[in-house]
Structure 1
Amino acid sequence: MEGRGIQDQNITASSMYDNRGDMGPYGARLNFQFRGITGWCKAKGDNDPWIQVEFGRYMIITGVITQGRATDRYQQWVKKFTVSYSDAGQEWTGVTDGRSGIQMTFTGNSDKYTPVNSTFPEPVRARFLRIEPKAWNQVCCMRFEVVGCESPE
């Protein structure tokens, strides 16, 4: 994502703060900061936020790297999140701990700039990946990168 291999329209979210374009999902790329766009932020009334990426082909995904919103004025980042994946973007499977089958809750960021690497216990193969924030500092805002490689088909 950071290298712009994923098109803006392939990054979508449940909502964006006040429908402001400068807080849209396309600003959620790791280390992204351009003309006031400093990350994705959810809308105020969105109680089950998510942000997802469609790869357009199958990928082997081994983890994600998260980061808070790049702004001098606010302290905004995601502290806890879950991750789900899908083949068609309709039915979702949560990333589990590999033993109990219970969906994992990952520890995210503790500041807005330091990237945090969250590695999955087992790689997943999917066309879609969704991050579902569960706890955040001030406002639910984030940037992220997907770690993995293209699936040989």
Structure 2
Amino acid sequence: MTQESMFAGSNTNTQRIDREKMADSMNTPLVNVVSGETAEPETVTNAELKAAACQASLGIEDGRIPDNKLTASTVWDDYHGPSNARLNRPAEYPTVGSWSAKYNNISQWIQVDLGVLVGVTGVLIQGRAYNVDARLLGGSDCCPQWVTEFKVQHSNDGIDWHYVLSHNNQDAMIFDGNTDQTTVVTNLFPTLVEARFIRIQPTAWNVHISLRFEVLGCQE
């Protein structure tokens, strides 16, 4: 780079910065010198800022949420109950590493009671843990089970439920689930929702409805 071109680049940058500072101090919009068009400032809503900051795990995986706050529509048996649905829970004989529904249909669900209204921004989902004691439960390949698609509902009282809506705010959003037993898949909501109860409703699955999960939101 020649001395002349180096100084030219420096001067151009300085002029741009000075112009921005001047426009800011005068509280006037910047104007594109080439096109003459006014540059509209990017705006971020308070809801978007809050959602970006509120992605803490809310206590399913680490046990802050007690077992009796995890409930489900049905269970395969006592060894497949909702308390086994904590994210990253291993399979520990005789219980298994997941909640498993008794039936495979779209009426099945698992939910958590967070105890108070919380700003919720998403969920983490995982398949049924590989069972190191599979030989005791029917075979070395037990059990390749996970949810491939699901919807999420939220409620303030556990009675009136509302779906997390897609970006058009008209249809229930269908979230991507898992493709294996171990990978954790993160699904963020289009917008933050205020809720005490979060319910996962599987709509498609591999072999059988089984899952582990966590809820993300605003940590007090």
TM-score > 0.5 by shorter chain: yes
State the SS of the aligned residue for 1:26: helix
**Counterpart selection for 1:61 from 101, 113, 120:** 120
Runs of 4 or more, structure 1, over 3 Å off, are none
**Corresponding residue of 2:202:** 133
Q: 1:74-126 CA deviation, whole Å, 9 max, x = no partner?
A: 11000000000000000101000132421101010000100000000001010
1:99 aligns with 2:168: yes
Number of residue pairs matched by the alignment: 149
- Structure with higher strand content: 1
TM-score scaled to structure 2, two decimals? 0.65
What RMSD, in angstroms, separates the aligned Cα atoms of the two structures?
Answer: 1.4
- Is contact 1:63–1:120 with CA below 8 Å preserved after alignment? yes
Query: Matched residues in 1 for 2:91 and 2:178: separation?
Result: 21
Gaps of 5+ in 2: 1-59, 132-141
Letter in 2 for 1:84: Q
Query: Matched residues in 2 for 1:34 and 1:113: separation?
Result: 12
**Corresponding residue of 1:109:** 178
Gaps of 5+ in 1: none
Letter in 2 for 1:12: T
User: How far does residue 45 in structure 1 lie from its aligned partner after superposition?
Assistant: 6.3
**Counterpart selection for 1:16 from 75, 82, 85:** 75
Q: 1:18-47 CA deviation, whole Å, 9 max, x = no partner?
A: xx2221000000001252331000003665
State the SS of the aligned residue for 2:83: helix
| Greater RCO structure (CA 8 Å; 6+ sep) | 1
State the SS of the aligned residue for 1:16: coil
Query: Matched residues in 2 for 1:100 and 1:85: separation?
Result: 15
Query: Matched residues in 2 for 1:45 and 1:106: separation?
Result: 18
- Structure with higher helix content: 2
Letter in 1 for 2:129: A
User: Which of 1 and 2 has greater Rg?
Assistant: 2
State the SS of the aligned residue for 1:4: coil
What are the residue-to-residue correspondences of 1:25-64 with 2, within 5 Å? Answer: 25-36=82-93, 37-44=96-103, 47-64=106-123
1:5 aligns with 2:64: yes
Identity of aligned residues (%): 40
Residues 108 and 45 (structure 1), Cα distance of their counterparts in 2 relative to 1, 3 Å cut: closer
Query: Matched residues in 1 for 2:191 and 2:172: separation?
Result: 13
User: How far does residue 6 in structure 1 lie from its aligned partner after superposition?
Assistant: 0.4
